[in-house]
Each structure stands twice: as C-alpha cells, then as structure tokens.
Structure 1
Amino acid sequence: MLRVLIAEDEDIIRKGLVYTTDWLSMDCVVVAEAANGQEGLEKILECRPDVVIADICMPFLDGIEMIKRAAETVHFKSILLTSYADFEYARRAIDARVCEYLLKPVDEDQLAEIMRKLGEEIASSRQVEKVMEQAELDGGNMNLEYFMQLDLSENQYVSRAIGQIRERFGEKLSIESISEEMGVSASYLSRKFKEVTGQTFLDFLNKYRVQQAIVMLNAQKYRISEISEACGFTDYKHFCAVFKKYTLKSPTKFVKGV
C-alpha cells in the first residue's frame, strides 16, 4: 500500500482529496496532510511518504521548492496540482524531478491511473533496492543512487559522465568516447571518476546497466536476450556473466526467484 502525503493550502481542496477520494481502491493511504509548504516539508521528513501530492502555490514554501528540499533526504514520487500553464513552473518542476501533473479540479480517474503507474514504478524500485542490498551484504557494492543524485559541482566532468551513463546506458559507451566529447583526456576523466565515486567508469556503467536490466526483468515483458541488447550488451553471454557478478544470480535464476 502506497503512503500518500497531500500538501494544499486551500482547505476545501485538501479536505476533499483526503476524505472523498477512494484511496483504498487505489491501494493507497493518506498518512499526512499539510496546509503550507513548510508544514509539508516537515511532515515529509517525519512521515517519509511514497507519494507527495502538492499544490504549486502555497505559503512559506511553494510546492516545487518543498519537493526539492525534501528530496534531498527522502525518496518519493511527486505529483503537482496546478491551474497554471506556465513554462517557468514547468522548467522548475523538471529540475525538481516532479513525476506527474494534475489539473484542478482533480479528476479521480486520472488520479487513479497516475497512482497505478507510480505504484508499479515504486514496486520495481523496491525490488531493485532489495537485490542491491542483498548483493552488498554478500560482498558486492551496487548502491549507485547517491552518485546519480549528487550535484558534483566540484567536478563537472564526472557529473556529466554520470549523466551520460544515465541517458545512454543502452548504447556503446566508453570512457574514451565520453572524454573525447568533453575535450579532456581519457586518463584524466578516468582518474577523476575513480576519485569521486570510488569505482572505475566501466564498473559504474555495468552496475547501472544491471539495475536497469532488473527493472525490465521485473516487467516480465521481454526476453532476456532483448534485455541484454537494450541495456547495452552486444554479447548475451557477457551480459549473463556481468549480471551474475553483481547480483550473484544468473538472469534466468533471478526471473525464477531462486
């Protein structure tokens, strides 16, 4: 069941969402509500919800700034309530990694569809986290989220390289090709990447590819060979070897849950 927090300064709208929406049918429960952005921030940190639904314009902190600050500490999906078709709001929301938008008044069918989608994403993420945690307990090191979300302002080359991994993991990617695009030497980028992340570029890339492969395996829509190719592995056997290296299971055993 998803834990939902609603931050909305208009009392009638907030109460309407909390008390008249059929949350149980969406497999959700409202764990907290807030009447302004500052209260919302405090309750997010306290309750650690799975999904935050927030109005854009609120006293003390607007919805986007509230989400940005809270996301530094808590992982959650976010939905913005808005009556505005304003590019500046959209740009700031992209920076804050807002997941979805809902126009007021809220359409419950649309809300239900969004919650279904977010629920699937959260379930998949939790499965990835579980596999990563188990791999770490057994001697691996799969936790990349810290670096994926880090603002590496001290070394923009490393930050850009991590961004390339996130966006292009399914392509043929190498430290040499990325360093050439940046106009720096491969040896410099390789050294800085290891200094910041504690891992080589190839190790980081392969771990991220395995994480994405787990998401696709959980979807149960693709053959393992298709996932191998989609995640940037040109050789199926190599994909299986890399997958087992970091998860301690072959892709086939992972699918079977053994």
Structure 2
Amino acid sequence: MLRILIVEDEDIIRKGLVYTTDWLSMDCVVVAEAANGQEGYEKILEYRPDVVIADIYMPYLDGIEMIEKASETVHFKSILLTSYAEFDYARRAIAARVSEYLLKPVDEQKLADILKGLAGELACERQKDQALVQVEQAELEGGNLNLEYYKNLDRTENHYVSMAVERIRTDYGSKISIESICEELGVSASYLSRKFKEVTGQTFLDFLNKYRVQQAVALLNTGSYRINEISDATGFTDYKHFCTVFKKYTSKSPTKFIKEI
C-alpha cells in the first residue's frame, strides 16, 4: 500500500483530495496533509511517504522547491498539481525529477493510473535495494552472490542484465567480457555497463570477479585442488592476478586461506 502525503495551500482542494478520493481502491493511504511548502517539507521528513502530491504555488516554499529540498534526505515519488502548463514550470519539474503532472481539477481515474505506475516503479526500486543489501550481506558473511535473484528481475526492464548474469554463471571459468556479451546481444557496451551498474550496484567486472572468487573459495574448501588449478578453473589465466583479486575480496591470499581452513 502506497503512503501518500498531500501538500496544498487551498483548503477546499486539499480536503477534497484527502476525504473524497477513494484511496483504498487505489491501494493507497493518506498519512498526512500540509497547507504550505515548509510544512510539507517537515511532514515529508517526519512521515517519509512513498508519494507526495503537491501544488506548485504555495507559501514559504513552492512545490518544486519543497520536492528538491526534501529529496536530499528522503526518497519518494512526486506528483505536481497545477493550473498552469507553461514550459518553465515543466523544465523546473524535470530538473527536480518530478514524476508526474496533474492539472486541476484532479481527474481521479488519471490519478489512479499514475499511482499504479508509480507503485510499479517503487516495487522495482525496492527489489534493487534488497538485492544490494543481499550482496553486501553475502560479502560480509563470505556467502555467495544470489545470481538467481538478478536473473529473475523484471525481464522487460532488465532483460540484458539477466542474460549477462546468466553468462557469468555458466561461463565464469572461461574468458568472457562485457564487450563479447554485448556483441552477442546486439547492444552497446556503454548501455549494458550502465544498466548493469544500475541494477546490481556493481560494475560487470566487479560482479564477475566476486563470483569467480566465491567459486574459488568453494574449490579451496574441498582441499582437492592446487591453487594454480583453481586459478585456471575460475577464469584467471594469470596466477598472480588471481592472487591479487582473491585478496581484494577476501582480505587473504589463497595460501593463507588454505592454512586457515
């Protein structure tokens, strides 16, 4: 359920939005309201809403100023209410990363459609945040990256990332690069690099090396292979480079790691 904050200095409009809109049917709840930009800013910090619906023209801080200031501390989506459609306001709203515009009087169906879209965006962003937390926790505990998680993200948005992650899973022991994968997928390396970092929070090379090191740890734990054999098996053709990368992610050399098993 989305948590909504409404900021509008015209009392009739604000109360109308709060009390006459069928929020429950939109899977939303209004957590607070504010009558001016400064009060709205304070309420954003206090309630940390998912979506802020705000007028542009308000006392103390206008809607865009309030959104810009609050966004420095709190992450939320924003919808601007306005009777004006001049380009200057639109340009300022884009700079402030305002999600949507709604002209007064508010069309409830249009509002519902916008909120449905924002709910999807927030869900996707939370997935990514959870993935980053999961990765960080796995690194702290020496666990494994959950490649299945990244592979099963929304494929409409992250299709190429999912395919790149699958290639890491299947071909980490061979010579692979983001350039070779991009050539197969028919996309530019700059695009996939940007998208990969956006989804996973890591560069392709970092992700690949972490996965290779984690596979190396699993092989070292068996006690059945020499270090140079593990280096080759996990895609590091240069033994010294393997030792350097291994120590970067584990804080230990492979030799020291074996001694502590």
Structure-2-length-normalised TM-score: 0.59
Mapped to 1, the partners of 2:51 and 2:84 lie a distance apart of 21
Quote the offset at 1:222 in angstroms: 7.4
Amino acid in the other structure paired with 2:153: N
Residues 226/42 of structure 1: CA separation in 2 closer, same or farther (3 Å cut)? closer
Match of 2:28 in 1: 28
Quote the offset at 1:221 in angstroms: 3.7
Structure 1 segment 35-114 matched on structure 2, within 5 A = 35-114=35-114
RMSD between aligned alpha carbons? 3.4
How many residue pairs get aligned? The number is: 176
SS in 2 for 1:41: helix
Structure 1 segment 105-254 matched on structure 2, within 5 A = 105-139=105-139, 217-221=152-156, 224=159, 228=163, 233-234=181-182, 245=208
SS in 2 for 1:138: helix
- Deviation per residue, 1:11-56 (Å, 9 max, x gap): 1100111111111111111001000000000000000001000000
1:17 equivalenced with 2:17 (yes/no): yes
Match of 1:164 in 2: none
Structure-1-length-normalised TM-score: 0.60
Quote the offset at 1:91 in angstroms: 1.3
Mapped to 2, the partners of 1:23 and 1:121 lie a distance apart of 19
SS in 2 for 1:218: coil
Residues 105/127 of structure 1: CA separation in 2 closer, same or farther (3 Å cut)? same
Report which of the two structures shows the higher radius of gyration computed on alpha carbons: 2
Residues 113/247 of structure 1: CA separation in 2 closer, same or farther (3 Å cut)? farther
* Contact in 1 for aligned 2:153/2:162 (Cα 8 Å): no
SS in 2 for 1:81: strand
Residues 130/227 of structure 1: CA separation in 2 closer, same or farther (3 Å cut)? closer
* Contact in 2 for aligned 1:228/1:234 (Cα 8 Å): no
Quote the offset at 1:234 in angstroms: 1.0
Residues 66/236 of structure 1: CA separation in 2 closer, same or farther (3 Å cut)? same
Amino acid in the other structure paired with 2:128: V
Residues 60/123 of structure 1: CA separation in 2 closer, same or farther (3 Å cut)? same
Residues 47/138 of structure 1: CA separation in 2 closer, same or farther (3 Å cut)? same
Quote the offset at 1:247 in angstroms: 8.9
Match of 1:2 in 2: 2
Mapped to 1, the partners of 2:160 and 2:17 lie a distance apart of 44
Could you list the runs of 5+ residues in structure 2 that have no partner in the other structure?
141-146, 165-177, 197-203, 212-261
SS in 1 for 2:97: coil
* Contact in 1 for aligned 2:63/2:80 (Cα 8 Å): yes
Amino acid in the other structure paired with 1:234: C
Quote the offset at 1:217 in angstroms: 4.9
Quote the offset at 1:131 in angstroms: 0.3
Quote the offset at 1:88 in angstroms: 1.4
Mapped to 2, the partners of 1:87 and 1:221 lie a distance apart of 32
Amino acid in the other structure paired with 2:88: E
* Contact in 2 for aligned 1:3/1:51 (Cα 8 Å): yes
SS in 1 for 2:29: strand
Quote the offset at 1:58 in angstroms: 0.4
Amino acid in the other structure paired with 1:118: L
Mapped to 1, the partners of 2:107 and 2:52 lie a distance apart of 17
